[in-house]
Structures are given as C-alpha cells and as structure tokens.
Structure 1
Amino acid sequence: MKAFASALAIFTIQLPSIHSFSCRAKPRCSINLNMASNSEPNQTSSSTCTASRKSKRLYSFDEARKIARGHGFSSRQEFIDYDCAGAYQLPKDPDLVWKDDWRGWDDFLGVPLPFEEGREVARSLVGVDTEEDYMNLIKSKTIPDNDAASRLPYRPDLLYKKEWISWEDFLQK
C-alpha cells in the first residue's frame, strides 16, 4: 500500500480537451486550461508545483480580477499559497500575464484602500453625502472594478476603527 501511495505522489488528470492540471500530493497546484482564446497562445505561467509550462490566457484581466477578488485574498502571498482543488484557474503570475493592465496586487485582489486614501476617494463620490448614501452605493455593486471606489470597504467605520472619527468626517466634501 505504501508503494502505491508514493507512486501517486504526482498525478495528472486529463479531461476531454478542456482541463488539464498537475498536483503534488499536498502542496500547490498548476493548472492549464485549454479552452482559452487564441490571443497570445504562447503565454507562459509559472507554478510552484511544476516547472513553467505554456498556457493560454483563459480570462481577460477584468474577469481574472473579479475571480481573484471573489476569493477574498488579502495579500499576494495568500494568493500564491492558495492550494487548488482543480477549480482555481488563475496563473500565479498575473502581473506578467496581464502586464499591460496590471495596477498592483492590492488592485487585483481588491484589498481595501488605506484609511487616508479611502477617505479621499469617499469624499470624491458624487451624490454620496450620508452614511445611507454610502451604504446604498456599496450595496448596489454598480462601481466598476477599475474604479478606486471599488476598493472602499462596506463598513469603513469598522475597518478603519483606529482612525475613524465619524461618517461626516469620512464623507466631508
């Protein structure tokens, strides 16, 4: 049984020309999805699990950023250390894959803005003068992902509790 288990330490799963990924028994995964568009077919993506491999770009930058933000990562290291179960489809080097669109890890992962920057962005929001206006805007999910306001927290009074003075101060025009 032990010999069988060690023989399975590295495995590859091939699904009918759609997915292909390789994993070591416990560490991280490397995924290559072959259903990508043909733009830049020789795009490379590195992995900590296997050597660099050729992969195709599966998503646009905006789609990839939305997926990354949906996972709730709070740092580059957390994103890179994420252990996949076959469904995680983003390269570990998005800064290279989407270098023309890249605006930094905090933007890609949707890390909330620091207090001073967040307050400045909140103050620049048109038609947002009260806590209720702010909450309605954030709940509406109408802020584009490429807008700095998309990185404002839902509850700034809780996230910025050390710096927080009041809603009036945060939204003051």
Structure 2
Amino acid sequence: MINLIPNTEKKKMVKSFYYRFTVVCLVVFGLSVLIGTFVMIPSYFLVRTKEDLVNKKLEAQKSESVSAPDQETLAITQDLENKLWLLEGSESDKFTISKEVVSAIVQKKIFSIKITDISYENNPPAGKKVSIEGIAPSREILLAFRRLLENDPLFKSVDLPISNFIKGSNIRFNLNLIPV
C-alpha cells in the first residue's frame, strides 16, 4: 500500500497529535486537581472544627483547679504504703548475692577459666554460700584462681575440694565461697 500523504503533511499531523495529546493530559490533570480539592474540603472543615473543639476542652481543663484528695484515697494510699513496707522488711531478711561478690569473682577470673554457673544459697544453720562451677584448662590455673579468691577480703573462706585436682586438663571444678 502506498502512502500518498506528503512528508510535510505527515509532520503537521504528528505535531497536531502531540498538541492534542498535551491538551488532553493537562485537562485531565486539571480536572483531577479540581475534583480532589472538592473531595478534601469537607474533611478539612471537619478536622478544623474538631481541632477547635479539642483546644477549647484543653483550655477548660487547664483552667479547672485540681480537687484535694478525699479521705478514702488517702486511706488507700496509706494502706498500700504499709503493705509495701511489710514486703520490703521481709525481703531484707533474705540473702541476695550482691553485685560486689559477682564482680569480684569475674574480675579475679583468669582468662582461660570458663565459669558455667554461679549459684548461692542461704541455709540458716550453715550460713550463706556462693558456689562456682566451671572448667579450667589445667591444675595450675585452677590453683591460681583459688588463691586469687582467697586473697580477696570479700570472702571468709574458699573451699576447693581436692577431688577437682584428679584430672590433669580440662578440669570440671566446683568452688564454694563464703562471703563476708
């Protein structure tokens, strides 16, 4: 099929197509903005009125004075304070391992010793006791760790059973400490 339209006419048609396409795009964009504006106007006014209402309530609450607590509230508060005091008093009789004891153990620990467990107990006849379980690579290192703990003033006694020294390497040990 032969195209009989001259090249100048073809160029004019393409140019006119792009003009029409641009105008249609601008009209669609303008209509979209216009419709969007009309749709958003009611929401805008609704939000503005709610904001004004909230600001009025806030001003009203700020201007109100806070009433003094009544006797019932004071009685409940006093009762709660008494209960808390009783709980705190009962907790003070229990032995809790202190941060100082744990930090002393960790600071004295030799690099190659692995501590697997630190436990504590408070047995009224026997007293307070901290137990350390772990793995030491050799007897010498385990003995050095025990001596470091013995020289610490936080501990009254350090008990390392002789049975821990039977094995020559990778020794699983159980060390008992009595804190001051």
Normalization by structure 2: what TM-score? Answer: 0.24
More strand by share: 2
More helix by share: 2
Structure (1 or 2) with the larger CA radius of gyration: 2
Normalization by structure 1: what TM-score? Answer: 0.25
